[in-house]
Structure 1
């Protein structure tokens, strides 16, 4: 039996906007991409369910240092809700728990129900989720048949709109096509489940696609098939798909450092620059190159938090 040659990984920095296919977990998609690019280090910025498709930002190398900030970004989805059936996972991948008749509905009723689930709301995450309890994901406990109580938590739903109810109103399949814009920690599966309860018939997610994640509002997405084709043409073709780290840092206020300030930051020292921004900031040099993330205190002093390797390689100035 011929063994496949081991992948020789390399240092690689940048961000890939992956179009995750249906049927793969986010980690499975990540590992496929990592091996295609032969990247030493990679991470994604927020899981998509296996059923879901769409934007999954993948950070390579030094870009993983900003992945945590992208996790909390605003996101948008298109989803299809199937009314009348509740499942244990709140989506079509799960087992049906109960089925109820769908009442007569019209657009005003649907709009009112959606409005009631918009804004700052309390939401109970799905039992089958990656949230951890006692260091273990809830889905692992659920699969063992353990009884799990999940506490509701506050989330932000910026938009929950009806795109089409034609399937339902034309007496076809009881489907609603919906658009969602939400903040960190919001589960579309939970939104659809709760919408079904408001309508009195139950519901689950039949389809889900993530459209964008801040700051990537109009993303150029790459499928696994397209990436594989580019890999066969050469590494330089594949690497051309990557965005620079700076493209993922527009959510933070920017502070620009001169050469001496950049040296002090690299040495772990505070920088007294009279900076007006407060809290977490993105530090750049005057050439427009990102140095990393820092924190500006109330006195206007900048302290380093997560610096990129090239920022730390600068020799320290006098101190």
Structure 2
């Protein structure tokens, strides 16, 4: 087949010289992203107004990563830490989903919305009193520890394989059952905010376990005070094991990509960084090779439960369950390029 460059063809296809009609001219096409293998964890500082999936796709294209996923969605209103896993790091995303997290949030008192945040429709407005600090603290304490929490109707929780927010947007009546969650810390940071700009705002700090909705905490705080409330601002500060994260904004990543795409690699943490909270099992090279082929190993010393398995060379081989009687059973194996690990291709 002969390929013809239209720009070098002097006629319009009808034997007449001169430029082709506008309808037949080809518009210049954008160069398609060439995706390839990228392994590692990016600690993204998600901007407000963007969904977690939109943020994921933006950075995945910047890194030209063929495989990626985020660990625990942030609402479009929220900002802050969103760990992005590329390549082999996606195999530990589930572990990060269940990790403890911390947030700073601003509660707007006196307004109840259908989404429990500022992006929803206001359902009702109530008067806000000048609450004494001890009353606010008592309400916060009542929402600390192991509590029963009803998730927001507009949430990504699924029922019948469909997110609840999709049902709510269609106007369906959505019943959400309360479930147990763990709230380690729910504290007032600044009482002065109650008078800032004449708006009834409270600045709060939250540390909680997996499955906890800050929107629900703020909604329930408003009910405990008798005035109603919703989340006006939300920022995620950390996710275990990234307690002091070096986060990257999309703008910073874009600037690096424009200067030198290879510089983006320095923004990634290795897979091992996401495993520091797990007990570590070190195997000999021979035992690690057998484990990497999916074989169970016997008489392995260590704590029972989920463990991270390394070779004595320092390469991480996979995740495993270690039984009380020392049986090491592979759960997830890492498939590194030749020379990058011990798992088989």
Fold shared by both chains (TM-score > 0.5): yes
Question: Which sections of structure 1, spanning at least 5 residues, go unmatched?
Answer: 315-319
SS where residue 225 of structure 1 aligns?
A: helix
- From 287, 290, 305, the equivalent of 2:316 is 290
Q: Does 1:148 align with 2:166?
A: no
Q: CA deviation at 1:146?
A: 0.2
Aligned to 1:248: 274
Would you say 1:270 and 2:301 are equivalent positions? no
Residue of structure 2 equivalent to 1:317: none
Is structure 2 residue 88 aligned with structure 1 residue 57? no
User: Is residue 17–residue 55 contact of structure 1 (8 Å, CA) maintained in 2?
Assistant: yes
1:37 is aligned to 63
Distance in 2 separating the partners of 1:86 and 1:249: 40
- 1:104 deviates by 2.8
In structure 2, what is the equivalent of residue 116 of structure 1? Answer: 142
Question: 2:254 aligned with 1:228, yes or no?
Answer: yes
Q: Is the 8 A contact 2:195 2:201 kept in 1?
A: no
Corresponding residue number in structure 2 for 1:211: 237
Task: Determine whether 1:305 maps to 2:331.
Answer: yes
Residue correspondence of structure 1 range 42-121 to structure 2 within 5 A = 42-121=68-147
Displacement of 1:297: 1.3
Contact 1:106 1:169 in 2 (8 A): no
Call closer, same or farther: CA 1:95–1:57 in 2, change over 3 Å.
same
Contact 2:181 2:210 in 1 (8 A): yes
Aligned pair in 2 of structure 1 residues 41, 100: CA closer, same or farther (>3 Å)? same
Shift of 1:167: 2.4
Matched residue count: 314
Could you state the TM-score of these two structures normalised by the residue count of structure 2? 0.89
Larger Rg computed on CA atoms: 2
CA RMSD in angstroms comes to 1.1
Q: Can you list the C-alpha shifts for 1:230-276, whole angstroms capped at 9, x where unaligned?
A: 00111221111000110010121110010111111112111124322
CA displacement 1:107-129 (0-9 Å, x = unmatched): 11111110110000000000000
TM-score norm. by structure 1 comes to: 0.96
Structure 2: tracts of 5 or more residues without a match: 1-26, 337-341
Evaluate the alpha carbon distance shift between residue 60 and residue 170 of structure 1 in structure 2; reply closer, same or farther with a 3 A threshold.
closer
Runs of 4+ residues over 4 Å off in structure 1? none
TM-aligned CA deviation for residue 288 of structure 1: 2.0
| Separation of aligned partners in 1, 2:195 and 2:225 | 14
Partner of 2:47: 21
CA distance in 1, matches of 2:264, 2:270: 14
Secondary structure at 2:269's aligned position in 1? coil
State whether residues 274 and 301 of structure 1, in contact with CA within 8 Å, keep that contact through their aligned partners in structure 2: yes
* Partner residue in 2 for 1:281: 307
